Each structure stands twice: as structure tokens, then as C-alpha cells.
Structure 1
Amino acid sequence: MPSRARRTLFSLVVFFATCGLIGMMIDQKVGAQSSTDESTLRDNLRSFTSVYDIVAQNYADPITGDKPGKVIYDGAIPGMLRTLDPHSSFYDPKAYAKMREDQHGKYYGVGMTIQPQGVGTAQKIVVVFPFEGTPSYRAGIRPGDVIAAVDGKPTDNLNSEEVANMLKGPKGTHVQVTLVREGASKPLVFDLIRDEIPHNSVDLKFEIRPGVGYIHLTNFQETTGREISDALEGFGEPKGLVLDLRGNPGGLLSEAVAVCDKFLHRGQVIVSQRGRAYPEQIYRATHGESGQEYPVVILVNHGTASAAEIVSGALQDHDRALIVGETTFGKGLVQTVYQISENTGLALTTYHYYTPSGRLIQRNYSGVSLYDYYYNHDTPQDTKDREVKLTDSGRTVYGGGGITPDDQIDTPKSNHFQESLLGHYAFFNFTKHYLANRTVSKDFQVNDEVIGEFKQFLKSQDIAFTDQDIAGVRDWINANIQSEIFTSQFGQQEGLKVRAEWDPMIQKALGFLPQAQTLEQNAEKVVAQKAMARNSATSPE
């Protein structure tokens, strides 16, 4: 067997041995593991190593280069974990490093989002936007700039991940970036000094209406609780808040608890977790909302998952927020990450989590393909077979399949013309063209003259349309053009504000603030009445 294959096989044996050790540790807490189970595990390990040995020696093509790693990291281990549940997973060294970077909420580099555009040999790596305040932003790099080379090395045939890794490096080091910009007569060369780049989980926070705050939270990482605190403090004494959790895949449980702590009363239960290896653990609000009471609307959709569902469920169960939007993803499993070896990790499901009312919101995954589990769950669920629980004020809520919103707001559906514009990056590329030889001010509006230029641009790009197509989605087109132009001219925050102020789901969510106010007031009355009844029942005659 080649030495590379032996090393890979050794890594697998270490992995399985670690899994076995974890299993034995778990079984020691819930009962001794039988000698039969241990014997079966050893026999299965021997069977696997024998199979791998035969494959390595006799497969038609040599198992060399990166093939041993693919066999193990992309085949054997994921295949084993897939039989358990959809969320237990293995991190190879690259994925493990990325996961840790995402959890920290920072990295060292130049601060830009990039993506590929084009097909085949015509594909280029394009700057989507530089993060505000970073080396890229300060240097004047713009959305739409094409990265032609990094430190003199052409980016031809490189993917965006490879280019991103070239841009990253130790703080204080230099990197030379060569860009091609529309309207520029020759390539532009920037000498950038790498710095710490914060990757905030709150990517937008502003007063969307007088006295009403809006926060968009993208995920839950090590900085999320502090970011939410900073955002709320920035609003002073708000009259209302819309917390947008659409598309939020979750993250760290501890940060979901920290976010809930900003809205609930001290001592209220946030979430509990139970697993066979450990005693039940209950998380409560330790500080509380410091007496600040204002209506809260939480906006969710099918992509709202995990830690984002913990926040939604806790605030719904305590009647602290009105949940609007679509039924959430339905992930009620908690993973513990075990570091294995050589910077690899095992994310193993060790707990189920329950909302304060006792709801388990995990969606059924038995007999469901991974694709269907992740992407085909838009069909409304029948509530007749779901567990029924009550909120603090006695409202009915359901478990067993995500957080059901208090009021439904559907995600707008795109038509074929809209999908065509997005697929061709029409707004992004038009912005490069429009701003090539001009600038705009913040009073810029998309008028008929701008739309006329947009139509000419679509024709030049062979993007089919009719005047009826444009008229049918004119407000959407206006918002997308203005957002891209503001992103390029004034930074990502201004572009996101344009989108938020137009977004029909956000506008509908704002309309539910009076209902959220009534919900909270009624809940306070019911809780007070229950407290009085308990006091009366226990007081001496």
C-alpha cells in the first residue's frame, strides 16, 4: 500500500477510534457498554480496513495524490454520519479552519467579497463589494473591479476560494492586487496592507421609521450578543423593533442565549437541551432587558434555522415578540464539535433542544433524502398531528417542524424575467457601466432617463425583454438599480438600506408592530393575574 494511503487509513482509524472513545464515554454515563458492542465495533473496523487495503492495492487507477483524502473525507466518514442524522458532519482541515474563522467573526486580509462571473475561459473573479473601513475600501476598490492578478500571479483558471486565500495573510503584510476597471485605460495596481477584518453578524442596523429600529442578523458567532447590544443601545429608547432573521442558518447556542437575554425578564427560561449522555441543561435570562419594553416583530422564513429558531421560539413562547413570515426550517438538534486530529473536527449531534413551552421543533428526516430535507420543505404542514403547547398567556403554538409564525407573510415569487436579470448580473454590471464616467449624490433616484439607459444596456448584453416586462416589475427594478449604485458609490450599508426600505416583507412586518404591542401588554396582564392567583392560594387565612 502506498505510504500516502497508509497515512490516510491511519487518519481514518484515529477518527473511528475517537468516535468509539466518545461512544464509550457516553455509555459510561448512561450504562456500561456491553462486551458484545465492543467486539462488534472492533470487527467492523477490521472489515473496513480490509476493504480499504484491497481498494488501495487493486483499484484500476492508483490511489495517489488527493484521492486517499477524498475516499476518507468525502466518502467513508460522511457516509457513516449520514446514517445518523442530517446535521452530524465531519470537517476536513480546510472546512475546520473555515468553521473556526466563521465562529470567531474575523480574519486577516484586505476586506472584500468576491465571486466568479462568466463561463469557462471567460470566467473572471469580480469584486462584489469591499467591506467599509477595510484596506480595500480605503484604497478605493469598487464593486465590479476584476481581479486580474495577486502579487503578480494571474488569477486565470483560479476559483474565488483560491483567490481569497491569496488575499488573506498575516496582519501587517503587503499584498499587491491588480484590477481591471470598466472605463479605466489600463489596469490599476493597489498595494494593500492586510489587517484584521471583522465579519459582523449584524450587517444592517438603522432607524427604518421614526423611533423604530431595524436589525438584520445573518448568523450567530462569538460577537453576536455584543453586536445586538450595540445596535439596541444605538436606538436609545425605541418605539418598536423589527428583528430580521430570514435566511439565518444559526450558529453558536451561547450567542442565541445572549440575544434572548436582551429582551426577556431576568430568570425566564430561554431554551433547554437534553441528550442521553448528559443531564438536562436549562438556560435562563441572567440580566434581562433592563426594563425596556417596546413591541418586537421577528421576521422569519424557511431558511431561519437552529440558533435563530431558539431566539424565535423563546420570544414567541414568552409572548415577547410577534413572529411573522414563513414556517422556519425546523432544526432542533444541537451539535458538539470534537477536534479529532490534524485540525479536523467531528460535529456530532449530542442534544435535542426545547423551547420554553417544551416544544421540540426538529423536522422529520426519516426516509427523506438530504436534498429534500434541505430544499423541499415549503409545503405547509398539517398541525393536527403536531404537538400542542401554550405560550405564557395561553396562546397555542406547535412543535415538531419549525416555528410556525403568528402571522403569515409569503416571500415574493420571481417571474422568468426577474430571474433572467439576476442570472445575468444585470444590475451589478449596469452599475459598473453607469458609474464608469460619472458619480451620483444621495438624492439620486431611478427615473425614466436611468431606465432608458438600463434598457440600452440590456440590449447591448443580448438580454431579452419587452417594455411590458419592465413595467410589470418597475418598483423592483428601481430598488435594485438604486441599491447597486449606492453600494458602489457610498458603501454596502447604504445599498442594504435601500433594499430594506423597499422590501415588501419588511414593510408588512412593520405593519404588525401595533399587534406586537397588544400581544406584549396582554401577556403582561395574564402573567400578573397568574402571579396574584398563586399568591392568594399560598397566603395564610
Structure 2
Amino acid sequence: MLSTVTIIGAGIHLKGQAFFQESPKELVDEVWQIIDKNYVDATFNQVDWRAVRTEFLDRSYESSEDAYDAIREMLEKLDDPYTRFMDPDEFRSMQIDTSGELTGVGIQLSQDQETQELIVISPIEETPAFDAGIQSQDVITQIDGQSTEGMDINEAVNLIRGRVGTDVVLTIRRGERELEFNITRARIEIHPVRHSRKDDLPGGVGYIRLTQFSQLAADEMRTAIQELEAEGIEGFILDLRSNPGGLLQASIEIARMWFDEGDIVSTVNRQGVAEVQRANGRALTDKPLVVLIDGGSASASEILSGALRDNDRAVLVGTTSFGKGLVQSVRPVGNGGGLAVTIARYLTPNGIDIDKEGIPPDVEEEISEEIREEMRMDRTLIGTERDPQYVRALEVLREKIAAANGEATTSSVPLAVP
């Protein structure tokens, strides 16, 4: 079970830890101070944030659990599912998730700001949730029979996580249908990059599937590009479908592998543009590139897709991405806890804010529920002639390769895939 957090920096707050050992009230105030100085919305969701401090510091706290409950109540006033407090167990779990190893069922959750429904951004491939049939955009309505109405994302994460080998029953709404899934929790090590040479076009195609922007992602992507370049392929297809995102820095490092010059992403906080990340002249390839995206491509996936599109480095094929354009900073607080704070919005190089809108593809290619289920049951079909979005990406890549070589081509001739 993954949390929807993009880590951009985590400093150790020893002062907060020392204070918390003396008084839980100090933790409440530490969290208030961090929000006051860093939260992206200077109006705090039209809340009188100073009055909130007075309200919560006037209370008495007998235990750490009292402080945790108060902090979560305080953060609810921001109406931001991505700004959240993590107790020590939750914080440790989050750190494990971003390291490339997780314990749970393999879902990344979001919470709709208007309906407060718990929405699956994407199941991680080769995890219990993926194998069971959980899909992007599924709405979780019950966890082990308990309604999720009014439940915040932290509580849902706690209920879905658990000991390896135990089961959790998720009831989900998919369109008009209600479905129930009994899923066994597991410990999963995720290698986020898979790559292979494919001979679906003359000269060969380098196919790279990136499933998560973990700490392992950049190194594995570098290896994939270098190995495929050594095989002399003519172009690349980068598959970001159902990639729910992860570490912001990983997306920046990977973008730099594809182009030498240009902006990658800018972050905008409540004072304005805070930082612009740019390419650094260290691209690993200039071969033609097509990127596959869909409704499960979120956050860091959208940063990478937007950077490649806006710099005319790649053509995007598939369906519109998820639409998460907010950046969180995660830092330790108190005695082992953690705080994720929305500190900025990110913009693509062309200044586009995709939050709640997503990135539309340059070439739209839908995929039927029947074929999606077929590929879920047999993952070896992904990136083959049985995968319509991959086949469309091949058509586009063939045109880009021909253009790069100065050859004439037409998109009206269907591609023959062996």
C-alpha cells in the first residue's frame, strides 16, 4: 500500500523530537508552525490559521495518541488529502515504500477533494492488488466491511496494511458495478524498470516500462537506456501506463537522460515560482521516442511526460493522465512521526498546471475493458501486438524514425506486426 506523496526533501528536526519527549503539545505546535511557513495556499483554505493554533494549544494532551488525533483534526481544516500526519509506524512504512520495497497489497490511493471518496490511482504491477484485478480509478467503498464514507486516507492506509500473509477484503465501485476482492498482503520488492529489444520495426525498438519512481528508478533507467543503445536500436517506446509516480527527483534525473537542453519542471509556491529544474547536457540518447500514458499515469509520470512533450522530445500516445500537479515535502516531526505538506504546484515547461486536468496525449488510443483484463491476466501481452496502445505507439515511432532519417512515410498504411 503506497501513500500519495512526492518527497522533495526531508530534514531531521531534532529540536522537535526533544520537545515532544517533554510535551505532546509541542508536537501539535511544531506541525502548526511547519504548515504556517510552508503550505502552498496562503489562505489555508480560507481558514483563520492563527485561530486554529489558539484552539488546539488551549487543549490538554495526555498522550502521544491525543496529539496525533488533534493534528489530524487540525489538518482536516485544509481539505487537502495530500497534507497529512504520519505516526511512527506510518512514517516507517512510507520510507520503505519509496525505497523500492513495500508491505501490503500494492495500491496507491488518492482522495477526491470534493466527494472525499478513496480512489485508486493505480495498482503496482506484480503485487497482490494487481493480480486480484484492482484497477486505476476504482473507488474503495469498504475495507473489511467497514464503510469508507468520511474516512481519511491515513485511516484507510492503516486498515489496508497489515501483517504479511493476512487477508483484507476491499469492496470497490467500478462504474455502475460493485465488486469485492479478497487480497492477501505480501512483502514486495519492486524493480521499477523493465526493458527489452523488440524487432517490431526494422533496426529494432527499445521498449522500457517504468512502473514507479522509487529510489531505484533512475539507476535502472540509466542501465536500460545504455544497454539498448549498445544494441543499436532505432528508437524507444517508454511505457508509463499505470505508473502512479513517486519521487520528484527521480523524474528529474530520468528526464535529463532524454534531452540535453530545456526546462523539465517548475514549482510554484505561495510566493511565486520557487524553482526551475533544467536539463544538464547529459542526455544518454537522441533517438526518436514515443511515450505511453493513461489514466493511471500520475504525479512524477506527468512531470516526465510533460517535460518530454513540451521540449518536443517525444510524442505521447494513449489516454489522458491522472492529473496530480501538487508537490509534497515530507519531513520527520516529533518522536519518529512524519508530516507531508503540500508546498507547491508544479508546471510543465510550457507553464501548464495539470492538477485535476491531466495531460492529454498527442495521439489518443483507447483500450477496451476486455483487452485490459486480458493483459492483466497475462502480463506478457503488455507491449506486444495484442496491446493496441503499444501497436499505435509503434506506428508513431515508425513515422518519427523515418522523419529522422529523411524518409517519406504515411500513417494511412497499417503497421504489420509479426
TM-score (normalizing by structure 2):
0.62
Distance 1:67 1:353, change over 3 A: closer
Which among 283, 294, 301 is matched to residue 277 of structure 2? 283
In the TM superposition, residue 248 of structure 1 has moved relative to its aligned partner by: 1.0
**2:28 pairs with 1:16:** yes
What residue is the counterpart of 1:315 in the other structure? Answer: 308
Give the letter aligned to residue 315 of structure 1: L
Structure 2 Cα separation of the partners of residues 40 and 219 of structure 1: 40
Structure 2 Cα separation of the partners of residues 319 and 351 of structure 1: 25
Give the letter aligned to residue 270 of structure 1: I
Q: Note the 1:183-262 alignment, pairs <5 A.
A: 199-202=190-193, 204-209=194-199, 211-235=204-228, 236=230, 237-262=232-257
**2:47 pairs with 1:40:** no
Structure 2 Cα separation of the partners of residues 20 and 67 of structure 1: 17
**Higher normalized contact order (CA 8 Å, seq sep 6+, divided by chain length):** 2
Give the letter aligned to residue 163 of structure 1: V
Q: Note the 1:468-487 alignment, pairs <5 A.
A: 476=374, 483=378
* Bigger Cα Rg: 1
Does the aligned pair in 2 maintain the 1:327–1:402 contact within 8 Å? yes
In the TM superposition, residue 498 of structure 1 has moved relative to its aligned partner by: 4.1
**2:77 pairs with 1:80:** yes
Structure 1 Cα separation of the partners of residues 81 and 127 of structure 2: 33
Structure 2 Cα separation of the partners of residues 161 and 519 of structure 1: 53
Distance 1:409 1:284, change over 3 A: same
Which among 76, 84, 87 is matched to residue 92 of structure 1? 87
Higher-strand-fraction structure: 2
Give the letter aligned to residue 414 of structure 1: E
Q: Any idea what SS the aligned residue of 1:163 has?
A: coil
Q: Any idea what SS the aligned residue of 1:330 has?
A: coil
In the TM superposition, residue 86 of structure 1 has moved relative to its aligned partner by: 3.4
In the TM superposition, residue 197 of structure 1 has moved relative to its aligned partner by: 8.1
Does the aligned pair in 2 maintain the 1:319–1:519 contact within 8 Å? no
Does the aligned pair in 2 maintain the 1:264–1:285 contact within 8 Å? yes
Which among 343, 359, 362 is matched to residue 350 of structure 1? 343
Q: Note the 1:309-458 alignment, pairs <5 A.
A: 309-363=302-356, 401-414=357-370
Structure 2 Cα separation of the partners of residues 362 and 505 of structure 1: 24
Higher-helix-fraction structure: 1
Distance 1:247 1:39, change over 3 A: closer
Gaps of 5+ in 2: 1-19, 43-47, 108-125, 129-158, 167-186, 407-418
Does the aligned pair in 1 maintain the 2:105–2:160 contact within 8 Å? no
In the TM superposition, residue 331 of structure 1 has moved relative to its aligned partner by: 1.2
In the TM superposition, residue 234 of structure 1 has moved relative to its aligned partner by: 1.5
Could you tell me the percent identity over the aligned residues? 30
Q: Note the 1:56-135 alignment, pairs <5 A.
A: 71=69, 76=73, 79-81=76-78, 83=79, 85-106=80-101
Gaps of 5+ in 1: 1-6, 32-36, 57-63, 116-127, 131-157, 166-195, 364-400, 423-475, 484-495, 523-541
Structure 1 Cα separation of the partners of residues 27 and 282 of structure 2: 42
Report the RMSD for the aligned CA atoms in angstroms: 4.1
Structure 1 Cα separation of the partners of residues 278 and 255 of structure 2: 9
Distance 1:129 1:279, change over 3 A: closer
Give the letter aligned to residue 403 of structure 1: I
What residue is the counterpart of 2:292 in the other structure? Answer: 299
Give the letter aligned to residue 359 of structure 2: I
In the TM superposition, residue 229 of structure 1 has moved relative to its aligned partner by: 0.6
In the TM superposition, residue 160 of structure 1 has moved relative to its aligned partner by: 7.7
Distance 1:250 1:521, change over 3 A: farther
What residue is the counterpart of 1:512 in the other structure? Answer: 396
Does the aligned pair in 2 maintain the 1:250–1:306 contact within 8 Å? yes
Give the letter aligned to residue 17 of structure 1: D
